[in-house]
Structure 1
Amino acid sequence: MKIAIEAQRIFRLNKHGMDFVALETIRELQKRNDGNHYFVIVAPGEDHCLKESANLSIIELKCPSYPLWEQIALPKTVKRLGVDLLHCTSNTAPLRCPVPLVLTLHDIIYLEPRQYRTPSLYQEMGWHYRRLVVPHILKVCKKIITVSQFECNRIRHTLNIPSERITAIYNGYSTHFRQLSDINMDIVQKYIPQKDFLFFLGNTDPKKNAVRTLKAYSLYLKRSSIKRPLLIADLKEGYIDSLLQREGISDIRSHLYYPGYIDNHDLVMLYNAAFAFLYPSLRESFGIPMIEAMACGTPIIIGNTSAMPEVAGAEALMVDPHEPEKIADALLKLETENVLYQKQVNYGLMRAQQFSWENTANELVQLYRSLQL
């Protein structure tokens, strides 16, 4: 088969969740000798993280805006290439596609009620764009892929999608996320002065639960004799300050480190150097950072909502993410109960082995073949 894969943002420097899912899946497909030829369609960027090979061609498309790139330039290119199908990897797709369309719909959070706007203009515009186009796209998709059974059931029931048109294919994680015997403190100290810190990977999206995590950390500091510092990724100083002032907890500021975006390769060392990883999200369709942290032997504290229990498994340390006191209690238990801590380390290492990009690619190729029949 000749298969076009939309991976619009994988060449940008500051990649995020869906970018890594697309990139790692494509890399795994590229390793295979399955007779398919893959045309990966991207926007120009500085990080040329994927190279062409005998079974993979890279098509760069320039366009002044994302909607024009997706709705005009992408379908024209797909038609010119004469491919058998188009797989769009990041929630949206052309409203009119000249070939059968496969869509990876990571979640439908943007179709659910929300309490307030996101402070990021980019995220806000993306939210409105998806609300506008996705319901129409779903009507023309040959197959819809999502990343967990939780999300599969939610999409099917919310949007009345027939069961045979939607399937769940789990994400994997990159194999460079592993437990290390030595900690490179030069890398760690780019972000925080010491190891055995608490690590929170959030952003301005309300579902990441930054405000309650900071309130939980404030409660932790009042009760802990160790008072570990908190490393916060993907949040800027101004946004953090606004949350601290609003909640009346500005006194914890000296314990916080917030370097902004963290390079993916540095994350490996930071997970290994961390005492625990905080991921008390309100809503996740999968949650790759949970698996990355577990693969590095770092205990996790996660929300007991959405797909997180399904992915992390029954023995993961789960709390009600709406209650900062519960998050703080879990932190203190890890800090004071050595047996529990080691149990979480061992469980995480075992659980992470159930996920791989190789498994993801295998299931994806089976799906492509089913559409050829």
Structure 2
Amino acid sequence: MRVGIIADRLDRPLTGIGNYVQNILHEFSQMSTNIAFNTIRYKKSEEFDNINEIILANPFEGLMKKSYYPWHLYMQLSLRMKPVDLDVLHCPESASIFTQIPDTKKIITVYDTTPVLFPETFTKGTLLRYKILFSKSISSSDMVISISNSTKQDLIRYFHVPEDKITVIHLAADDCYQVLPHSAIQIFRDRYKLDYPFILYVGTLEPRKNLSTVIKAFYQLKKEGLKHKLVIAGGKGWKYNTIFQLVSDLNLEKDVCFTGYVPKNDLPALYNAADVFVYPSLYEGFGLPPLEAMACGCPVITSNTSSLPEVVGDAGIMINPHDYEKLAEAIDSVLSGVELKKQLSKMGQARAAEFSWKRCAKETCKVYNDLI
């Protein structure tokens, strides 16, 4: 059986979807199976053993810094006009390939349905593309991989996808996320000048991540004498100006550190250096940052909504994401409770170990085989 995985996400800076593609391809390259794997992309890399590359010309390379959609449209046209010999086409980006390929079964991976649930947190352009592409991508697919049961239920409820068309396959934290020795953490602290105790948030700066609740909870704790600072690590997404404005309005500029995008190689040390990780997101299709933090032994406080209870289980503290006072109480309980902090750290590591990319890859291969 020949399977093609659209892997153009590896040809640009890695984000969540790119991380997913990279990890399953790495596991595929190590597997002994009846499947011949092929990546579809626009740059040759020979990155993975035992995986072939189908390279499509990219006439839009000069536009890629502004938009990737012209390339996706061109890729679909190329696959239809000059069909490649594939039994299965796997599209890891759910709102991109909306056409069917002749004589080829199609699978898409769906991460969340955020634009449906929280349209106010997106730009008009993003919403328009989503409305046009997402439903078409689902209807033209033979199978849908959902990264959580929460997302599966959303697909059934809002898009009326038949339940037997959806397979839930969980993601995992990468192996690099682990408890590090004190010396490695200190080197990181020195390089980033983090010579103070801190509360940590990691993620894109956008409305859905609910950073206003984090900042308000932090402000309340500062009024009560908290010595910690707040570190917000992540690149700017959209509609982020209100975040900086709130910090300014509350006179927290000296106590809130915005690091910007932190390279993946530095994230394990960042999680290790933090005293507590907060993630009161309004909605997540899976929620990798809490899982990464738990793998690093950092106590986690997150939302009691969407997929987050499914991921964190009883290894973290759950709060209503709209209640900043409850978040402040939870943070205080961790920072002031030595035994609670140790307990959450130990339980978090055990919980994170239940998820693995090897299992994710094996379950994905089973979907390929079952479909054929």
Match of 1:38 in 2: 37
User: Shift of residue 87 of structure 1?
Assistant: 0.4
Cα deviation 1:187-226 (Å, max 9, x = unaligned): 233334225421111323211111221111111211244x
Native 8 Å contact 1:178 1:296 kept in 2: yes
Contact 1:241 1:250 in 2 (8 A): no
Give, as a single letter, the amino acid of the residue that structure 1 aligns with 2:115.
Answer: Y
Mapped partners of 1:80, 1:294: distance in 2: 44
Give the share of equivalent positions with the same residue, in percent: 26
**Which residue is 1:121 aligned to?**
none
CA deviation digits over 1:21-61, x for unaligned, max 9?
A: 1111111111112132211123449xx6x614233325354
1-structure distance, mates of 2:83, 2:122: 40
Q: What's the counterpart of residue 47 of structure 2?
A: 51
Tell me if the contact between 1:215 and 1:249 (Cα under 8 Å) persists in the aligned partners. Answer: no
Q: What displacement does 1:75 show?
A: 5.0
- CA shift in 2, pair 1:291/1:58, >3 Å: farther
Shift of 1:265: 1.0
C-alpha deviation, 1:111, in angstroms: 2.1
- In 2, the alpha carbon distance for the partners of 1:183 and 1:322 equals 38
* Higher alpha-carbon deviation: 65-74 or 307-316: 65-74
> 1:342, 1:278 → 2: CA distance?
16
Q: How many residues align?
A: 362
- Flag the 1:292–1:66 CA change in 2: closer, same or farther, 3 A: same
Deviation at 1:247, TM superposition (A): 7.0
Which of the numbers 84, 95, 103 marks the counterpart of 1:81? 84
Pair 1:332–1:43, CA change in 2 (3 A): farther
CA contact 1:102–1:145 (8 Å) conserved in 2: yes
Query: How do 1:61-210 residues align onto structure 2 when only pairs under 5 Å count?
Result: 61-64=57-60, 65-77=67-79, 79-98=82-101, 99-118=104-123, 125-184=125-184, 185-194=186-195, 196-210=197-211
AA matched with 1:211: S
Q: Does 1:312 align with 2:278?
A: no
Q: In the alignment, what sits opposite 2:23?
A: 24
> Gapped runs of 5+ residues in structure 1?
119-123
Query: Does the CA contact (< 8 Å) of 1:71 and 1:96 recur in 2?
Result: no
Q: 2-side partners of 1:214 and 1:173: how far apart?
A: 26
Determine the C-alpha separation between the residues in 1 that align with 2:237 and 2:53.
Answer: 41
Structure 2 unaligned residues grouped into runs of 5+: 61-66
Are 1:328 and 2:357 an aligned pair?
no
Q: 3-state SS of the aligned residue for 1:341? A: helix
- Aligned Cα RMSD in Å? 2.4
CA–CA distance in 2 between the matches of 1:236 and 1:27? 29
C-alpha distance in 2 between matches for 1:27 and 1:306:
29
Counterparts in 2 of 1:370 and 1:177: CA distance versus 1, 3 Å = same
| TM-score (normalised: structure 1) | 0.90
Relative to the length of structure 2, the TM-score reads 0.90
Deviates more, 1:239-248 or 1:330-339: 239-248
C-alpha distance in structure 1 between counterparts of 2:114 and 2:237, whole Å: 26
Q: 1:158 to 1:242 in 2, by over 3 A?
A: closer
Change (3 A) 1:277 1:113: closer
Equivalent positions of 1:203-352 (< 5 A) are 203-225=204-226, 227-235=227-235, 242-246=242-246, 249-352=249-352
CA contact (8 A) 2:121 2:239 kept: no
Q: Is the 8 A contact 2:100 2:106 kept in 1?
A: yes
For residue 115 of structure 1, give the secondary structure of its aligned residue in structure 2: helix
> Aligned letter for 1:94?
I
